[in-house]
Amino acid sequence: MRRKLSEIFIEGCIRLSGVLCISFVVLIFLFLLKDALALFGGYSAGKFLFGSQWLPVSEPPHFGIVPLVIGSLYVTLGAILICVPIGVGAAMFIAEVAPQSLKTILKSLVEILAAIPSVVLGFIGIVWLGPFLKTTLGLSTGMCGLTGSLLLAFMALPTIISISEDALAGVPKAYREAAFGLGATRWQTLWRILLPAASSGIIAGVMLGIGRVIGETMVVMMVTGNAPVIPASILQPLRTLTATVASEMGEAVSGSEHYFALFAVGLILFIITFLINLVADMSLRKARR
């Protein structure tokens, strides 16, 4: 009887936790939606979604988010192209190639990298990485999208490496023994057996890393130039959605169009993050099948 009551209590706590999590997400969405819709009482939704100018203090003000979305896409895609192959490759090396003594050191270093504050990385970008890229690539300024992508990739690497390495280490030993018994080399075993077997965990690590990249604020606000214009390439200054909200919310007058426009930007960012998580969940389910 006591055991049954304990099971009922634990199940109730789990269900309550799930309901609370969903409720919090819905409440955040409604909170953003309420103030975002207030903007469209006097400002066109088409101009907001498809406008090419973000000039909140001009007369009349312009709240087009196209430059912000393109800037976010440039920085995010650049970071993904850098951190995903390096992160998965590093996880493969740590899990299957490195000797035990080196593996312990590398895993400790990855954990230390995850603890570096984003403001410190932003400071490094301003002092060293930005000037280095400016000199090396002959840019007009080192405060550009590429600088932000490199630093965001560095921030996402610990998440991708840790989760991917755990996924590879969790593959049953029998898989390796069977592959070696059939005459497969270590590389063939890793590439054709272990990676597909650990694909669900690796995808989860990659998507968590991408979520870290999209939601990061401090680094992109410090090193991308904060120019709210449509960039021709990742080598030019740009501004992201997160940096816009962080840099302008303190200056916006409460209840003004500018104030509501920032909530609308936050809503767009919320929707983008939700869609990414939805795609990640669908990918994980497909990989598990």
Nearest-10 Cα torsion for 195, 198, 199, 205: -110
Whole-number mean pLDDT of the chain?
86
CA-CA distances (angstroms) from residue 220 to 101, 110, 161?
Answer: 36, 22, 22
Domain parsing of the chain, residue ranges: 2-39, 46-288
Q: Which range, 40-49, 155-164, 203-212, 279-288, has the best average confidence (pLDDT)?
A: 155-164
Residue 289: pLDDT band (50, 70, 90) is low
Asked if residue 259 lies in contact with residue 166, where contact means CB atoms within 8 angstroms, the answer is no
CA-CA distances (angstroms) from residue 247 to 47, 79, 86, 241?
Answer: 22, 22, 31, 10
Task: Count CB neighbours of 261 within 10 A.
Answer: 28
pLDDT at 86 over 90: yes
pLDDT digit string (tens) for 198-212? 888 888 888 888 888
Region 59-80: what's the mean pLDDT? 90
pLDDT of residue 79: 92
pLDDT of residue 287: 61
pLDDT of residue 41: 81
Q: What percent of the chain has pLDDT over 90?
A: 22
- The amino acid present at 27, given as its one-letter code, is L
pLDDT of residue 288: 63
Task: Count CB neighbours of 210 within 10 A.
Answer: 25
Asked if residue 244 lies in contact with residue 54, where contact means CB atoms within 8 angstroms, the answer is yes
Q: What is the DSSP letter of 224?
A: S
pLDDT at 85 over 80: yes
- The amino acid present at 58, given as its one-letter code, is S
pLDDT of residue 263: 92
How far is Cα 66 from Cα 281, in angstroms, rounded to an integer? 27
pLDDT of residue 146: 92
Give the CATH fold of the 46-288 domain. Answer: MetI-like fold (1.10.3720)
Q: What is the DSSP letter of 253?
A: P
Region 113-138: what's the mean pLDDT? 89
pLDDT of residue 150: 93
Beta bridge partner(s), residue 225: 238
pLDDT digit string (tens) for 219-270? 888 999 888 888 888 899 999 998 898 888 888 888 888 899 999 999 998 8
Tokens of 77: 């895609």
Region 152-177: what's the mean pLDDT? 88
Asked if residue 54 lies in contact with residue 72, where contact means CB atoms within 8 angstroms, the answer is no
Region 38-46: what's the mean pLDDT? 85
pLDDT at 149 over 90: yes
pLDDT at 1 over 80: no
pLDDT digit string (tens) for 275-286? 877 877 776 676
